Structure 1
Amino acid sequence: MDTSEMGLFADLHVFDTMTTKQVQIIRAAIDVFADKGYANSSTHEIAKRAHVAEGNIFAKFGSKRGLLRAIIDPVIQSIFPQTIDGFLREDFRADYATLDEFINAMVRNRIDLVRNNKKVLKAFLSEIIYNSDNWDRLKQEMPQGYWTRMYTLFDRLKAAGELVDWPDQDIARVLWSNFGGMLAGYFFFDQKLDDPSVAIMVASLVKALRP
């Protein structure tokens, strides 16, 4: 795994209390889970890729499920909430004059995060899709005020004639379903996430949501 893909974990000091072997195990597990999926992975394969004895996995993480939780929990408890907080502080500013400005900021400000943490986020999304308990935990960790700030911004853009006069929930659904679809294509179907692809998605969203 490229060291840059562990940036989120390093920035949040997730590894501070782990030994070198334990960090190797986390890195290897992210690689294996992202490449093969949780169900098709084994602790034996992870240990082999990490160059450690399989017993090291059980000693620290207890089981394959415990190892997955060591990867998923920081995303749910810290990484994802901090990313959403970034939306609140950066993307939901009050001074967007046009719909183009807002959508460009919302999409492009997250692209580097996605590109630099592809395997971590792929393993996370795979588990969220198949485990409703993790989805419920994720919703509980959403920063307070997220939807209020988003809908306030929608109201401003509607008043300026920049945004279609639909219910706020429907607008949010269009934004996130399109962005989520693009990420799914990138994570699971090897579709590109380059600048031309992003530009096309931004243009499509603006066209769909402009009055």
Structure 2
Amino acid sequence: MSEQDKMIDELFNHEEELTEKQKKILAAAIEAFAEKGFAATSTSEIAKKAGVAEGTIFRHYKTKKDLLLSIVAPMMAKLIAPFVIKDFDKVLKADFETFEEFLRAIIENRAKFIIHNMQLFRILIQEIPFQPELKEQFKEHIAKKIFTRFERVIEYYQAKGQIIEMPTYSAIRLTISTIFGYVIARYLLLPEADWDDPEEIERTIQFIMHGLSPKSEI
């Protein structure tokens, strides 16, 4: 079984058994949406990639958007959400003496996750801003759960005097936006650039620490 087939089986094993044609359609759609985006991909292209007639796609999915949602919804509900929360919990529940150590663990954790789920992550990032249904599912499955856990971490390091006093949501927003700015640039926008990963990670961490540390510690 190919890696693509394993991914399809993992995503859709809650449904009745998929036919080989359905698996090919889903695999082709994931590849095409990741490469070109939803809007720029036609169902005829997906059919050609899958080696099926275009009409076969519409026998299973009423519209191209139904096909997108059939991929991304279970991706978040089954693949991303449980693993993100499970993996993230490993980081959030670990004992790190300093907020800086915690940041290093977070970046390492997310980079590994994205590398192993690159196509799916690309689709998610590309389409969430334009698909209200996906935005709501992302907020429900991931954002709310992670935010609650991250709040406790910020409060913990504030109590230790390692983070300046500010609303926790502001500290979370500034931290997450900086980390994901690095991750998205590194793995999605400019993966071909000559990255010095250890140096970039260190710069990212120091940028966050400079903004959040009490003045005496800068």
Tell me which interval the TM-score lies in, with the shorter structure as reference length: 0.7 to 0.9
Aligned equivalent of 1:200, options 165, 187, 203 = 203
Per-residue deviation, 1:6: 7.2
SS in 2 for 1:164: coil
Deviations 1:81-139 (A, max 9, x none): 21342255212116221012211111111111101221211111111011233212221
CA distance in 1, matches of 2:101, 2:12: 34
- What's the counterpart of residue 37 of structure 1? 37
Gaps in structure 2 of 5+ consecutive residues: none
8 Å contact 1:91–1:106 — kept in the other structure? Answer: yes
- What's the counterpart of residue 187 of structure 1? 188
The structure-2 alpha-carbon separation of the partners of 1:157 and 1:66, relative to structure 1 and needing over 3 Å to count, comes to same
Gaps in structure 1 of 5+ consecutive residues: none
Tell me which amino acid in the other structure corresponds to 2:33. Answer: F
8 Å contact 1:34–1:123 — kept in the other structure? Answer: yes
- What's the counterpart of residue 135 of structure 2? 135
Tell me which amino acid in the other structure corresponds to 2:53. Answer: A
Normalised to the residue count of structure 2, the TM-score between the two structures is: 0.82
Per-residue deviation, 1:54: 1.6
Per-residue deviation, 1:198: 3.2
CA distance in 1, matches of 2:9, 2:136: 26
Mapped pair 1:161 → 2:161: yes
Q: Give the structure, 1 or 2, with the largest relative contact order (CA under 8 Å, sep 6 or more).
A: 1
Deviations 1:129-185 (A, max 9, x none): 112332122212248764333222212211222222221001110122112323432
- What's the counterpart of residue 69 of structure 2? 69
CA distance in 2, matches of 1:49, 1:169: 44
CA distance in 2, matches of 1:162, 1:8: 41
CA distance in 2, matches of 1:146, 1:184: 18
Normalised to the residue count of structure 1, the TM-score between the two structures is: 0.84
Percentage identity across paired residues of the two chains: 27
- What's the counterpart of residue 82 of structure 1? 82
8 Å contact 1:6–1:117 — kept in the other structure? Answer: no
Tell me which amino acid in the other structure corresponds to 2:19. Answer: T
The structure-2 alpha-carbon separation of the partners of 1:146 and 1:33, relative to structure 1 and needing over 3 Å to count, comes to closer
Aligned residues: 209
Tell me which amino acid in the other structure corresponds to 1:138. Answer: F
Tell me which amino acid in the other structure corresponds to 1:95. Answer: D
The structure-2 alpha-carbon separation of the partners of 1:176 and 1:29, relative to structure 1 and needing over 3 Å to count, comes to same
- What's the counterpart of residue 212 of structure 2? 209
